[in-house]
Amino acid sequence: MGKISTPKALRGPDSAFSLSSLLSNKFFVFNAQPKGGFVNEYVGEVIDEEECRARIKHAQENNIGNFYMLTLDKDRIIDAGPKGNEARFMNHSCQPNCETQKWTVNGDTRVGLFALTDIPAGTELTFNYNLECLGNGKTVCKCGASNCSGFLGVRPKVRR
């Protein structure tokens, strides 16, 4: 793997964002991360479900294919699009190396991304979106994992 070069503004102490191609944004770990280690926080504008649906509708009507929404709790969603950090560029995988954990910090719910395994430096960071699909369409999964379910929001296949 080639050297990861990113502007300092997009680099946290242990991670780096890299534009790997014109079609694909990816988020890589800059320094090795131990299993259970905190990788990043998923941040953005906190909105309600009504606003989330309006934004998704607007995006669909304008052929905007990428959303950066993550459910915070039953009433709130994080939209990392307009005010998020580089964690929004973490791709989905049916065999992820990170997971989301919800924590209460000073009385508010926050979402952290934590390493599921030891992650070597230079590795792409991924998590399972556990996507709740709105509308009739299913999103095809392109993660390439051996246990890939074929669609986002569908449980990965059990490996035997």
pLDDT, tens digit (0-9, with 9 covering 90-100), for 107-127? 999 999 999 999 998 899 999
pTM of the predicted protein model? 0.79
Give the model's pLDDT for residue 122.
Answer: 86
Q: Which residue has the tokens 């509708």?
A: 57
Strand partners, 25: 19
Task: Write down the pLDDT at residue 89.
Answer: 87
Return the pLDDT at 6: 34
Q: What mean pLDDT comes out for the span 54-67?
A: 87
| pLDDT at residue 4 is higher than 80 | no
Distance in angstroms (rounded) separating the CA atoms of residues 8 and 30 = 12
How much is the average pLDDT of 38-45?
92
- Per domain, the residue ranges of the chain are 44-84
Residue closest to 16 by CA, chosen among 100, 149, 136, 121 = 121
**Which pLDDT belongs to residue 14?**
53
Interstrand relation of 69-73 and 76-79 (parallel, antiparallel or unpaired): antiparallel
Residue 5 pLDDT exceeds 70: no
